[in-house]
């Protein structure tokens, strides 16, 4: 069933917007101009994952000899970090970075006439 969430203009980059639908808590977030919606239940021990920090993945820069040249923040790869045990999840795929067996439940937000909807 399709549910109205909010006006598209209410969403701010990397700021979680919360909604309760059909008994589920869902976090809706704008990241790099894409809207994502995830259940606020961590697949590890059901922590409130949407309350965690949203941050760019830190990658190592390597030279041609595979020696480290320091790190950098990847603007294309953004993670949400569960506040309970620190598991990091890719906001696009929902997969846990350290252990892909843990995957966030995601929904597919739709924008119609400037309004955001989620189907559950």
Binding residues vs ligand FES (CB under 6 A): 42, 44-45, 47, 49, 82, 84-85, 87
Considering the complex, state which of residue 5 and residue 42 has its C-beta at the smaller distance from ligand FES: 42
7 alpha carbon, distance to own chain's centre: 19
Q: What size, in residues, is the chain?
A: 120
26/116 Cα distance (integer angstroms): 13
Q: How far is the CB of 44 from ligand FES (least distance, A)?
A: 3
Considering the complex, state which of residue 61 and residue 85 has its C-beta at the smaller distance from ligand FES: 85
Q: How far is the CB of 103 from ligand FES (least distance, A)?
A: 12
User: Which of these, 81, 110, 92, lies nearest to 31 by C-alpha position?
Assistant: 92
């Amino acid at each position: 069933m399709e549910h109205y969430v909010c006006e598209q203009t209410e969403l701010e980059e990397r700021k979680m917007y919360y909604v309760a639908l059909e008994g589920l808590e869902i976090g809706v977030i704008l990241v790099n101009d894409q809207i994502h919606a995830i259940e606020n239940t961590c697949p590890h021990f059901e922590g409130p994952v949407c309350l965690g920090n949203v941050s760019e993945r830190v990658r190592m820069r390597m030279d041609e000899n595979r020696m480290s040249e320091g790190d950098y923040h990847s603007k294309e790869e953004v993670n949400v970090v569960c506040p309970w045990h620190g598991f990091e999840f890719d906001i696009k795929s929902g997969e846990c970075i350290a252990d892909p067996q843990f995957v966030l439940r995601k929904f597919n937000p739709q924008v119609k006439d400037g309004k955001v909807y989620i189907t559950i």
